[in-house]
Amino acid sequence: IPEADTPPRNRPLLATPRPRCEVEESSTAAVRRPGPTMAHEHQAADDFVVQHIMRTQDLEAEARDDTLEDTGSSS
């Protein structure tokens, strides 16, 4: 029954669960639950890319250090 069609004095009767009445979640309420959004997925992908870039830079720096040590010890 639409709220506009319900007299104001009857609205509490229709909106309030009766005693011993089990109230379960509606399917529309379950759909409205916040879940992963595209923004979360993009952020996760961006985080992964940043971690990969940082790891690559660390490996390149270690390789440069190793190369400098190798050339320094052969002189």
Question: What is the average per-residue pLDDT within 42-68?
Answer: 93
DSSP state of 5: G
Res. 66: pLDDT tops 70: yes
Q: What type of residue sits at position 8?
A: P
Average pLDDT, the chain: 78
Q: Is 14 within 8 Å of 6 (Cβ atoms)?
A: yes
Name every residue whose Cβ is closer than 8 Å to that of residue 12 and which is 6 or more positions away in sequence: none
Distance CA 61, CA 21 (A): 67
pLDDT tens, 17-52?
Answer: 677 777 676 666 666 666 777 888 888 999 999 999
Question: What is the average per-residue pLDDT within 8-14?
Answer: 68
Q: What is the pLDDT of residue 11?
A: 67
Q: Is 14 within 8 Å of 1 (Cβ atoms)?
A: yes
More confident residue, 35 or 68: 68
